[in-house]
Amino acid sequence: MVEFLQSPFHGNLVWQWLAAVGVIVLTWLTLQIAMRITIRHLRRIAERTTGQLDDLLVELLHKTRFFLVFVISAYAGSRFLVLPDAASQGLRVAFVIALLIQAGFWSNGLVTFWLTRTVKRRLGDDAAAATSLAALGFLAKLVLWVIILLVALDNMGVNITTLVAGLGITGIAVALGVQSIFKDVFASLSIIVDKPFVIGDFIAVGELSGTVERVGLKTTRVRSLSGEQLVFSNGDLLDSRLRNYMRMTERRIAFSFALAYETPTSILEKVPGLVKAAIEATPGVRFDRCHLKSFSDSVLTFETVYFVLSANYLEHMDAQQAIHLAILKTFERERIRLAYPTRTVVLHPGTASEHDQARK
């Protein structure tokens, strides 16, 4: 038996081959048992906690593939053997490739973990954004696997410089052909991340306005007040001056009214106080100012400013109506008459006769 164990076999002694096989089996069993125990322990912790880190670790451990464990075990067993340079190089390349592929599965699991929870959280109130996130997650996974493939080919001795150059030229040609699509896709990502608006917001873009119904990868759909659907490309939408009325915390309202020049100054002095009292008596508003603004051609113009402490348009209109009615009632009680446009023509005596003589 001793002679058999000491006999050479393919460049190594028999006992070295047996030791290598033993190390491979022992390492593989140890890693498998350790992973199962760790997963079971982390799962119990995850069931008792609300954090997501332990859930993520369980998910990533489940993504650990058999080939990585086997390659690690084989690499550990090879330490007991004297292998040719080609075999050692092949084993090293296999280990690196297995590690790269496993890193791809772990990264894929990380992206999936984040997407699943983000989409589930946003599905109820922003289904379109959740759909866009899922599509962008697919693009992220695609880019990840392309990078891993290129690195794996490079470790296998493939000259990827020409390949990358070819992909670069092809990518430039494709990008030039679909640059508007890429622009809209990245604009969609910007809308999702930066949130200049969300579904349900009332926005205005130039002269067009409406309520956001859907945010897609390329376009955003807006329902106008008159009922039709407006479709904006995401790139053009972000390049425009966009007003989001749902982000308002209050509304500033300015209006003017006019009194006749015959109104006594004692009444004019009382007007700002009367207007202030009428506005302050209206709930949900804040008085700012009321001033005699200008001397117009035929009237004295007052300007009034107040704030509605709500972004709701109906509440704004209700408050405005209540204030206007309160001002009218106050002016009626105080016998203050609002002016209307008038023109006074003054004829001097003798003007007409002199004109008739000039014509003769």
Q: 267 Cβ partners below 8 Å, 6+ apart?
A: 259, 334, 336
Q: 77 Cβ partners below 8 Å, 6+ apart?
A: 19, 20, 21, 22, 23, 24, 27
pLDDT tens for each residue of 107-153 = 877 777 777 776 666 555 555 555 566 666 767 777 787 777 877 77
Q: What is the pLDDT of residue 358?
A: 47
Contact 284, 308 (CB under 8 A): yes
The predicted model scores a pTM of: 0.49
Q: What is the full per-residue pLDDT of the chain (360 aa) written as tens digits?
A: 666 666 666 666 667 777 778 887 888 888 778 878 877 777 777 777 766 666 677 777 777 777 777 777 777 777 767 666 677 777 777 777 877 888 878 787 777 777 777 666 655 555 555 556 666 676 777 778 777 787 777 777 766 676 666 666 566 655 555 566 667 777 777 777 777 888 888 899 888 889 988 887 788 889 998 889 999 988 888 888 888 888 888 889 999 999 988 889 999 999 999 999 999 999 999 999 999 999 987 889 999 999 999 888 889 899 999 999 999 999 999 989 888 766 667 777 755 544 455 444
Q: By C-alpha distance, which of 334, 268, 269, 279 is closest to 307? A: 279
Q: How far is Cα 27 from Cα 71, in angstroms, rounded to an integer?
A: 10
Q: What is the pLDDT of residue 286?
A: 93
Q: What is the pLDDT of residue 72?
A: 77
Q: What is the pLDDT of residue 164?
A: 63
> Could you give the strand order of the β-sheet that contains 251-260, starting from the edge strand earlier in sequence?
251-260, 299-308, 285-295
Burial of 40 (0-12, 13-18, 19+ CB in 10 A): exposed
Q: What is the pLDDT of residue 360?
A: 46
Q: What is the pLDDT of residue 246?
A: 81
